[in-house]
């Protein structure tokens, strides 16, 4: 595996393979890798000739007071994991390389990025759209892989890639969880032992929704209250949002008679955790 830090070098190295007809696959990450990230890398390895992974903690997608400065890092361990997963290139640019002096461009995706994390983290998806556009322009992959853990992010990326006619196929991958149900996240490292127990309330709340649906419940407000009360019963938790939305538009659903996405964002101690599940309604 070759580690590259410069944009010009990544172009030189990767273009060689594209020119001879090799399929380039790409997995963008912010590092501190876990099995969730590695599931994307594995799929990418299966479907492409050349696998590129990036590690870049992107300052433009963090708001004031968020965890940009303390975001966990372990490049040595990450590089070893990626080497073991058969990655060809690890791209780890500096902030200055990605945003040199004079950088002035913004990208904004309206509609799909307005609700959920878009309301709680103003500007977050502008930052995501900007960095992912830059990374796709630098690597120019045939396919890029993203987790459904960040469901809204995946939808936002699909939107601007289509809108801007970018020549990369966006692949969404399922959420990887611990055996007890907690969705893997680099931010789980922020949880102490008590908070780690409370964090299970996100994924465990899904069972109450299934139960309500089986009981014939169709009222959003009823099921929302059940989920909110369940989460609130857990120490160290503070709800950011509990939203029942259309899986395509991410607009709130009026009732639970069609397929919907339950999207959750909950602070557990200092960690802001997100999770989601698509409920199929017969």
Q: Which residues bind ligand AMP (CB under 6 A)?
A: 29-30, 36-37, 39-40, 146-147, 149-150, 173, 175-176, 183-186
C-alpha closest to that of 61 among 5, 148, 125? 125
Please, what's the largest Cα pairwise distance for the chain? Answer: 59
CB of 218 to ligand AMP, least distance (A): 30
CB of 171 to ligand AMP, least distance (A): 10
CB of 156 to ligand AMP, least distance (A): 12
Q: What is the rounded CA–CA span in Å between residue 195 and residue 38?
A: 25
CB of 186 to ligand AMP, least distance (A): 5
Residue 170 pairs with which residues in a beta bridge?
144
CB-wise, 60 or 253, nearer to ligand AMP?
60
C-alpha closest to that of 28 among 133, 116, 167? 133
Q: Are 203 and 239 in contact (CB under 8 A)?
A: no
Please provide residue 17's backbone torsions phi and psi, each rounded to the nearest 5 degrees. Answer: -75, -40
| Residue 282 tokens, joined | 């017969």
Classify strands 24-29 and 143-147 as parallel, antiparallel or unpaired. parallel
CB-wise, 39 or 48, nearer to ligand AMP?
39
CA 220 from centre of chain: 26
Catalytic residues: 37
HEC profile for 136-182? Answer: HHHHCCCEEEEEHHHHHHHHHHHHHHHHCCCCCEEEEECCCECCCCC
CB of 28 to ligand AMP, least distance (A): 6
CB-wise, 126 or 150, nearer to ligand AMP?
150
Q: What is the rounded CA–CA span in Å between residue 179 and residue 91?
A: 31
């Amino acid at each position: 595996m070759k580690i590259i830090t410069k944009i010009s070098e990544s172009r030189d190295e990767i273009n060689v393979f594209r020119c001879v007809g090799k399929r380039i696959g790409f997995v963008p990450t912010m590092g501190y890798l876990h099995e969730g990230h590695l599931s994307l890398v594995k799929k990418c390895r299966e479907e492409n000739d050349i696998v590129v992974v990036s590690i870049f903690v992107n300052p433009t997608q963090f708001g004031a007071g968020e965890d940009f400065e303390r975001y966990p890092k372990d490049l040595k361990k990450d590089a070893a994991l990626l080497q073991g997963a058969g990655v060809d290139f690890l791209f780890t640019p500096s902030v200055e390389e990605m945003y040199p002096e004079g950088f002035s461009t913004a990208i904004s995706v309206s509609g799909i990025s307005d609700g959920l994390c878009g309301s709680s983290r103003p500007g977050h998806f502008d930052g995501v759209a900007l960095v992912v556009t830059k990374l796709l322009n630098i690597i120019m992959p045939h396919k890029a892989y993203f987790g459904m853990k960040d469901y809204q992010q995946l939808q936002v990326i699909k939107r601007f890639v289509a809108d801007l006619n970018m020549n990369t196929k966006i692949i969404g991958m399922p959420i990887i969880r611990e055996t007890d149900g907690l969705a893997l996240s680099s931010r789980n490292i922020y949880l102490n032992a008590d908070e780690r127990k409370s964090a299970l309330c996100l994924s465990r709340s899904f069972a109450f929704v299934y139960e309500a649906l089986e009981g014939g419940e169709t009222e959003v407000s009823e099921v929302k209250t059940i989920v909110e009360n369940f989460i609130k019963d857990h120490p160290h938790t503070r709800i950011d949002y509990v939203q029942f939305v259309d899986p395509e538009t991410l607009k709130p659903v009026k009732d639970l008679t069609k397929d919907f996405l339950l999207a959750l964002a909950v602070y557990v101690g200092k960690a802001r955790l997100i999770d989601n599940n698509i409920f199929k309604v017969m």
